A = this chain, B = another copy of it.
C-alpha cells in the first residue's frame, strides 16, 4: 500500500478550491527587564491599516519553516539579535484566527512569547525592521493601560495581555523568570523580575528562603555595587516549584 500508486492516490485527494487558504504569520511578544520594569518590544507601523500605531513585531511564515522557526528568524531580523549565541527563551503562546482581524485579507497569527536575557540595566539593542518606521521598548503596564500610546494595532493588545498572563502564571510554578536574566544571577535580581512582571513587591527574606532550593548555587559571589553584602550567584534549573510561589493580588 506504499508504492507510487498509493502516493498518486492521495496526492489527488485535495484539489485547489476544496479548502480555504490563509496567510500565516508569526507574531512576537518580546519581553525584557530594565530598571525593574517589564518592557515589550514594539514597532510602529508605516503602512495601513493601523498606520503609525504600535504593533507587535512579526512576519510571514515561510513555505519551508515552522512557525517557531519563523519566530526565531523574525526576532533576529527585527531586533538584530543573534539567537545562536544568546540564551533566548521562545515558546508558542496562542494562535489568533478571527476572520476579520486584518481588514486586507485572512491572516492567522501564531503568537510567540520571547524572553530576552538582560543584566537588568542595559537594554538589548533593537533595530528597526524594514517595514516599520521605528522600533523600541515600552513598559508593558503603560501600554496595557493605554498611557501615552493608545491601543495597539490589530488585536495585538489582547495578544500582549495573553503573553503577560502566560508569563506571570508560569512564574508561579517554574523558574522561567531566570530566562529574563543572564546565566548567573543573584536572588535580588530574580526578585526584581518577579516584582516587575507581577507588578507587586515581594518580601526579600521569604523570597530567598523559597527560591534558594530551586536554583543551582555556583559558589561564586558578586562584588557589592553600592554598599551592601556580596550576593551569591545562582544558575537556573528547569525544576518545577512545588508548591508554587504565591502571587500577591494582581496590580494590573
Contacts and interface: CB of A to CB of B under 8 A. Distances in A.
A122 to B, nearest CB: 34
A73 B242 CA distance: 39
Interface string A101-114: 00111101010000
A238 interface: no
A20 B61 contact: yes
A99 B64 contact: yes
**Interface-central residue, A13, A65, A66, by most chain B CB under 10 Å:** A66
B63 A11 contact: no
A77 B41 CA distance: 42
Q: Lowest 3 CB-CB distances: which A-B pairs, in order? A: A10-B48, A21-B21, A67-B97
This chain: how many copies in the complex? 2
B66 A99 contact: yes
B95 A47 contact: no
Interface residues of A, number: 44
**Interface-central residue, A66, A95, A173, by most chain B CB under 10 Å:** A95
Given A13-B104, A21-B22, A23-B21, A68 B47 contact: no
Given A20-B24, A244-B243, A97 B13 contact: no
29 contacts: A6-B48, A9-B47, A9-B48, A13-B47, A13-B104, A14-B105, A19-B23, A19-B60, A20-B23, A20-B62, A21-B21, A21-B22, A21-B23, A21-B24, A22-B23, A24-B24, A24-B97, A24-B108, A63-B106, A64-B99, A66-B97, A66-B98, A67-B95, A95-B95, A95-B110, A108-B108, A173-B244, A243-B244, A244-B244
